[in-house]
Each structure stands twice: as structure tokens, then as C-alpha cells.
Amino acid sequence: MLKNIKIIAFDADDTLWDCQGHFERVMQQLYDELAPWTSHEQAVAELYATERKNMHLLGFGTKAFTLSLLETALRVSSGNIPGERLDYLLRLGYSLLEFPTTPLPEVLETLIELQRQGRHMVVFTKGELLDQEHKLERSGLSEYFEYTEITSDKGEREFRALCQKLHIKPEELLMVGNSFKSDIAPALAIGCWAVHIPFHVTWELEHAETFSHDRLFNIEHFGELLQIL
């Protein structure tokens, strides 16, 4: 059935390069800063509550995360966190706009082989436009993709729109990604094929129940994609 695939779409963050690992590092710094006012467990819960509250206004991405970081610090400390510590957290947020997007193991080799085979590949990711564009540029992988689509969210509506833009039927698209919630479930729901490659850490708001499906493949290493195809 996969012989009918015309385009392979790849998620970016935590599929092509490590992203969440860098965010986890900054989150830990926040929890350390809030130690005088709350426990580690409560600090974790407070940050996720802030992010969840802000999601409909700020969406996904580094800027949204940084605002939620500062808001959480101010609220949990009742405004008592020193200004220099807020400045420190702000600078940590800025650092997330420049972290190295080194391709994950087997990514570069696999993309080179797929391009050699004449496969048509695109990037389909969510987040802030400039931030995602800069990460793709820093990765050095842009030359392997014919098209890049960056959206504020990835659900069934966005997957249908992607297929329309690419002039293909859903069953002609293969989506490869680490997030079952954003990459896999909505793709399968509209008739696409999907390959799930979990990352070792998942953002709390991306957690979702997994399930089996006739059009779903599960792999552990990026290079296994070549065996599927």
C-alpha cells in the first residue's frame, strides 16, 4: 500500500533534532529558582497550569514558553522573586531561540538516501514562524525538503489543508513524527499513513494515549524508515 505514497511529511522538533531537551533544562532552572516558595512537584504543576491557560492566546513556541515561565515565577513567589532572577530566567528563554539544532542520529543519512531515491519530502511542524524557520536553517537540513509548512497547531483541519496545498489525497501522504497527539492521531483520522518515532522526553501538553492502526508504523530508530518504504 505504501507504494501509493507521493509525499513524506516530517515533523521538526524532537523528530529531526532535539528541542524538548533544551526546554527541560530551562524548566529545571525555574524549579530551582522557586525552591524558596514551593516544592519541585508543585512548581512543575504550576508551570504546566500556566502554559495550559495561555495556550489559546499564545499558542506554541519559545516566546509563549518564556512568558509562561516569567508569569509562573511571579505568581508562585507572590511577586517576591528578585528582579535579577527574573532577568536570568528571561535570558534563559532567549537562549532557546539559538540552541543548536543538530540532526538526531540517522536523520541526515536517511534523508540523503530518501532524496537519492527520488522521494518528495516536506516539513510539517507547528510553532512560531521565525523560530521554526531559524531552527530548520541551523539544522542544515532544508535542502532535503521541497516545501515547509509551519502552523499554529496540528489537527485534522491542518492536515486536510496540507493535503490540499500539496494537491494529493490523504492516503498519498505519510506523516513521520514523535508526537502521537499532533503528528499521528490527526493524520490517521483523515486517512493518511503515519510513522511514530517516540522521543525520549515529551512535553506534558503533548501527552496522549497511543493506539494501534492499520496505517500506522512504530519505529525506534530513524533509519528504520527506509525499511518501511
Per-residue pLDDT tens listing for the chain (229 residues): 678 999 999 999 999 999 989 999 999 999 999 999 999 999 999 999 999 999 888 888 899 999 999 999 999 999 999 999 999 999 999 999 999 999 999 999 999 999 999 999 999 999 999 999 999 999 999 999 999 999 988 999 999 999 999 999 999 999 999 999 999 999 999 999 999 999 866 655 555 677 889 999 999 999 999 999 8
Q: Domain map of the chain by residue range?
A: 2-18+100-228, 20-95
Q: Which residues of 62-85 are buried (b: 16+ CB within 10 A; e: fewer)?
A: bbbbbbbbbbbbeebbeeebeeee
Q: What are phi and psi of 41, to 5 degrees?
A: -60, -40
**Rounded Cα–Cα distance for residues 51 and 45 (Å):** 10
Comparing C-alpha atoms, which of 149, 147, 154, 186 is closest to residue 170?
186
Is the CATH code 1.10.1740.10 the one for domain 20-95?
Answer: no
Quick one: fold of 2-18+100-228? Rossmann fold (3.40.50)
The reply to whether 20-95 shares the fold of 2-18+100-228 is no
Please count the residues of the chain: 229
